[in-house]
Structure 1
């Protein structure tokens, strides 16, 4: 059921994904083609905010903070998984893998490499503060427009 808390959660995580995507780009290898990187991450933020965070609104401020942090962690997980899957597919088209199981394992290896790359102070702090603010905004929207 669409409501204001789902919309605010989706927009908040999408905005957080947009900001963090811009912070990640300078950390990656030089000459990397990002293509739809930011757009995909924003879409993931929209989906996770709507499905995960919007459904859990209305349980108090402590749960709002936890809701925001949970939504942020789920968003980062799915973004790493999808971006890793895209990179694996790109490499698979160049015959870099001997079989399908090796290619599937590469998704997690690439995602882990990306996670290590983005695990720097300013990105982690942006994610934590943004997640908390998104949770609080979602709770406020739930209380304001039930």
Structure 2
């Protein structure tokens, strides 16, 4: 006797809310990286940061905003804050990894566990230097606007 597994493919299908979420979060990622570059400490490597952040905006716009839109306007603010938080963590993880790799190539770590802890430590130190009002407002207001646009698209084009 064979067992039939039915998968829910509706989560994978493109919708207008997912498209608008992708566009909004990608634009926010571009603006966020532009703002972040002004406040990074000296010596932080930023090679590949913009494409990585935009790809994060695509993933977050599709998986967070697009999939959870259409549940009502009161949830939009939490959804936008969550998407903005994820984008900030995504960028900090990349910058921390870049710094860890630079230090690892200079043999500054004793082992792989120290290097993994180094990613977190570098990300936190870079994050502390980016705790600026303009950067945080840009990130969270942009997340809210992207979530509102995605919610509107989910209601307008179901």
Classify the TM-score, shorter chain. Answer: over 0.9
In our comparison, the structure showing a higher alpha carbon Rg is: 2
| Counterparts of 2:45 and 2:91, CA distance in 1 | 17
| Counterparts of 1:89 and 1:32, CA distance in 2 | 11
Aligned to 1:117: 129
Gaps of 5+ in 2: 1-12
Aligned to 2:4: none
- Please point out which of 8, 17, 32 is paired with 1:20: 32
The answer to whether residue 77 in structure 2 is matched with residue 65 in structure 1 is yes
Shift of 1:31: 6.0
Gaps of 5+ in 1: none
- Please point out which of 100, 103, 109 is paired with 1:88: 100
SS of the residue aligned with 1:27?
coil
Pairwise CA RMSD of aligned residues?
1.4
| Counterparts of 2:43 and 2:91, CA distance in 1 | 21
The structure whose residues are more often helix, as a share, is 1
| Counterparts of 1:103 and 1:33, CA distance in 2 | 17
The number of equivalent residue pairs is 146
TM-score of the aligned structures, taking structure 2 as reference length = 0.87
